[in-house]
């Protein structure tokens, strides 16, 4: 049977669903205008950015890796959470048995005030800092400083942009269009050769430098977190809502299959479902389009109007 695109039947099922899990990926944040790091431009074109997201790269050149992550933190702070982030945060407040599993490291769910006890950040966060020393357990879960230390400030350049809203004290271009000068990240500036002493130091051991609190390629996901998720999923979930993530990234994709196998239903919200690598028979509902429009709409029976 092909999946339904009917919002009304989804609403009916949602209203009786008790345990609900959401599985989120890059498509959730794409509506906020956040580029994926694979598309990093400017100076970063000289680097295989996939190879900067590894423990080996950090060991080899922590200054380079830190400049990459400082840039990503800066870019993430330039955008704002969208209505889909807020809708999920609202559902977490209104519905006790709701768990969000997100692969996004961009901090947008945190900034949408998603309750922390009902979300798991599978791949960590750009805004978490950890000690790079093996024997030190220092973690700062939410550090939104930009830059973290002065030497990690991203290079900025003045740019003249059209004003979003007319206001006083603005320049006028010849044509009368209001413009203003603003500072934006200048990705053409050469990267600096940073020393260890330029990088953030762990405030606990005061010996090792801090590292980004993300899961790098070749690293394991946090074991305690994984155990907690397994425990939550042992009781069958009634509904899994997949938002903007492909069926190719494990363990995330496996969670949707688990819900289905234990008798729950699965819905997906994505711009293009067919490109995601999901098996065609897993979905009961398919909602193709922009997450920021669809997610608040399909959750309306539980969260009201956004």
Active site residues: 123
Q: Which of 47, 138, 185, 232 binds Zn ion (CB under 5 A)?
A: 138
- The answer to whether the annotation marks 202 as part of a ligand binding site is yes
Would you report the helix, strand and coil content of the chain in percent, each value rounded to 5?
Answer: 35, 20, 40
For the CB of residue 39, give the shortest distance to Zn ion in the complex, in Å.
Answer: 33
* Separation in Å, CA 245 to CA 26, 96, 190, 226, 248: 6, 24, 34, 19, 8
Q: Which of 14, 20, 28, 131 binds Zn ion (CB under 5 A)?
A: 131
Stretch that binds Zn ion, among 9-17, 25-33, 208-216, 245-253 (CB under 5 A): 208-216
Taking the least distance from each CB to Zn ion, the nearer of 184 and 196 is 196
Taking the least distance from each CB to Zn ion, the nearer of 43 and 136 is 136
Q: What distance lies between CA 27 and its chain's CA centroid?
A: 9
Contact 61, 117 (CB under 8 A): no
**Under the criterion CB under 5 A, does residue 21 sit at the interface with Zn ion?**
no
Q: Which of 7, 77, 97, 136 binds Zn ion (CB under 5 A)?
A: 136
For the CB of residue 58, give the shortest distance to Zn ion in the complex, in Å.
Answer: 15
Angle (CA) 12 281 298, round 5°: 30
- The answer to whether the annotation marks 24 as part of a ligand binding site is no
E-strand ranges in 5-118 read 20-24, 98-102
- The answer to whether the annotation marks 240 as part of a ligand binding site is no
For the CB of residue 248, give the shortest distance to Zn ion in the complex, in Å.
Answer: 35
Q: Which residues pair with 139 in a beta bridge?
A: 130
For the CB of residue 151, give the shortest distance to Zn ion in the complex, in Å.
Answer: 19
Whose CA is closest to 251, among 94, 120, 116, 141?
Answer: 120
Taking the least distance from each CB to Zn ion, the nearer of 210 and 268 is 210
> 7-16 vs 291-298: helix axis angle to the nearest 10?
50
Q: Which of 23, 202, 243, 252 binds Zn ion (CB under 5 A)?
A: 202
The residue to which tokens 């919002």 are assigned: 7
Q: What are phi and psi of 242, to 5 degrees?
A: -95, 125
Q: Which of 11, 95, 204, 300 binds Zn ion (CB under 5 A)?
A: 204
Please report, in range form, the residues annotated as the binding site for Zn(2+).
131, 136, 202, 205
Footprint on this chain of Zn ion (rule: CB under 5 A): 131, 133, 136, 138, 202, 204-205, 208
């Amino acid at each position: 049977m092909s999946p339904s695109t009917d919002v009304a039947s989804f609403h009916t099922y949602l209203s009786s669903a008790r345990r609900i899990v959401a599985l989120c990926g890059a498509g959730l944040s794409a509506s906020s205008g956040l580029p994926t790091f694979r598309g990093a431009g400017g100076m970063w074109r000289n680097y295989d950015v996939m190879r900067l997201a590894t423990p080996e790269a950090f060991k080899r050149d922590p200054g380079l890796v830190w400049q990459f992550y400082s840039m990503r933190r800066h870019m993430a702070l330039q955008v704002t959470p969208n209505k889909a982030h807020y809708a999920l945060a609202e559902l977490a407040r209104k519905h006790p048995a709701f768990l969000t599993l997100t692969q996004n490291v961009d901090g947008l769910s945190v900034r949408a005030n998603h309750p922390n006890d009902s979300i798991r950040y599978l791949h960590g966060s750009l805004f978490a800092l950890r000690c790079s020393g093996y024997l030190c357990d220092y973690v700062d879960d939410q550090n939104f400083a930009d830059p973290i230390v002065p030497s990690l400030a991203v290079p900025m350049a003045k740019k003249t942009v059209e004003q979003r809203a007319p206001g006083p004290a603005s320049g006028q271009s010849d044509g009368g269009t209001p413009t203003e000068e603003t500072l934006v990240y200048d990705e053409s500036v050469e990267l600096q050769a940073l020393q260890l002493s330029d990088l953030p130091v762990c405030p606990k051991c005061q010996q090792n430098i801090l590292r980004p609190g993300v899961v790098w390629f070749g690293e394991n996901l946090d074991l305690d977190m994984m155990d907690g998720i397994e425990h939550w999923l042992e009781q069958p979930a009634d509904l899994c809502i997949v938002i903007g993530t492909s069926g190719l990234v494990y363990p995330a994709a496996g969670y949707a299959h688990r819900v289905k196998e234990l008798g729950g239903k699965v819905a997906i919200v994505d711009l293009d479902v067919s490109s995601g690598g999901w098996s065609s028979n897993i979905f009961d509902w398919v909602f193709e389009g922009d997450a920021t429009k669809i997610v608040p709409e399909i959750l309306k029976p539980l969260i009201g109007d956004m």
